[in-house]
Chain A
Amino acid sequence: MTSTEVWTVIGALAVGTFLIRFSFLGLIGDRPLPAWALRHLRYAPVAVIPGLVAPLVLWPAATGGEPDLARILAALTTLVVGLWWKNVLGAILIGAVVLYSSLAVFGV
């Protein structure tokens, strides 16, 4: 990506994110959000992020797109720890430990 493209992404994301945050406070005013809209907004993060991650776990670029046991194990561990402990940083740390120790064992 060229520097112009990077700054286009930054600029558009900055303006767009601000407008989302400002939407009701500044633009729409004191009108209640329709129930159907709230219902969809609630699922936005869980609708985007898992789909973004799945191909990275199954077909990592670092192995040329070949599934890799160490990365799959690390991803599953992070998921289980995150579900169970509900601690984002804790899950990242344990996921990283599993990643590096299984990379050391299986080697890639």
Chain B
Amino acid sequence: MASSTVKTAFWRGARDALPFVLVVGPFAMLFGVVATEAGLDLLATMGFSVLVIAGASQFAALQQMTEGAPVLVAIATALAVNLRMAMYSAALLPHLGEAPLWKRAVVAYLNVDQTYAMSVAKYEAAPQMPLADRLAYFFGLAFPVAPTWYAMTLVGAVAGARIPPGFAIDFALPITFIAIIAPMLRTLAHVAAAVTSIVAALALAFLPYNTGLLIAAVLAMAVGARAELWLERERR
């Protein structure tokens, strides 16, 4: 009985995540292409997608590396992009916190934008769902997403080696980043953070090792948080 509801939950998750394949696939392919164009070999390109499995931060690390930033700066920038996932982890805790440690570790590895958003929405809509079903649903969500991420990175890496130079592929990365960020600019506080980030990064571009970006990011986070407080107070 239990095992049949678990199976159902897994396959419902897989079905619910199926549309994400259309988003994740091309994005992964683009990473494969851009990483290959930047001079990464196939193993390193795949290493990024399999070990890190976080698109925007992979692109950020790549950009820092091609600009010749020091290793530590590249790591710090990419990790800053992933800080939001601490929020995802906190959001999953009330729903999956009682699972065994190793299962929580697997959940953590697969805790990406899509699995987080879909699973938390489901758990909130169905609070009586047993823990085993919740876990199965989560792994079901990851089932189409993660393999698509790996496979399409590979396709991109192989195809990227064949794209002739001078195809302005340098600009794939900025366009991708702008397209990722634009839908996130939902509130005035988000816009304030983004504008601060741009102005400070440009003003501090003279600093060595791309460290200006890190300072700009800290400033922008503080401005976003301040603006949020201020907007809340205005609304009252």
Contact = CB atoms under 8 A, between A and B. Distances in A.
Nearest to A56: B174
A5 B78 CA distance: 15
B186 to A, nearest CB: 9
Point out which of B94, B176, B216 has the most chain A C-beta atoms below 10 A from its C-beta: B176
Interface in A25-47: 25-26, 29-30, 32-33, 36, 38-47
Contacts of A3: 41, 44
Main SS at interface, chain A:
helix
Interface in A76-95: 78-79, 81-83, 86-89, 91-92, 95
B37 to A, nearest CB: 12
A7 to B, nearest CB: 7
Contacts of A10: 44, 47-48, 51-52
A71 B177 CA distance: 14
Nearest to B78: A13
A62 interface: yes
B199 to A, nearest CB: 8
B159 interface: no
Contact of A17 (B57, B94, B168): B57
Interface in A11-27: 11-14, 16-18, 20-26
A49 interface: yes
Contact of A9 (B74, B84, B179): B74
A1 B65 contact: yes
A5 B39 CA distance: 13
Contacts of B27: 88-89
A79 B168 contact: no
Contacts of A105: none
Contacts, number: 278
Given A39-B228, A47-B221, A17 B82 contact: yes
Interface residues on B, range: 35 or more
A25 to B, nearest CB: 5
A14 B217 CA distance: 21
Interface string B164-180: 00001011111111111
Contacts of B131: none
B190 interface: yes
A53 B176 CA distance: 10
Nearest to B30: A92
A82 to B, nearest CB: 3
B61 A52 contact: no
Contacts of A103: 168
Contact of A46 (B68, B88, B224): B224
Nearest to B222: A40
B104 interface: yes
Given A43-B224, A83-B182, A88-B180, A50 B197 contact: yes
B205 A55 contact: yes
Contacts of A20: 79, 82-83, 85-86, 89
What 3 A-B pairs are tightest by C-beta distance, nearest first? A82-B182, A43-B224, A51-B201
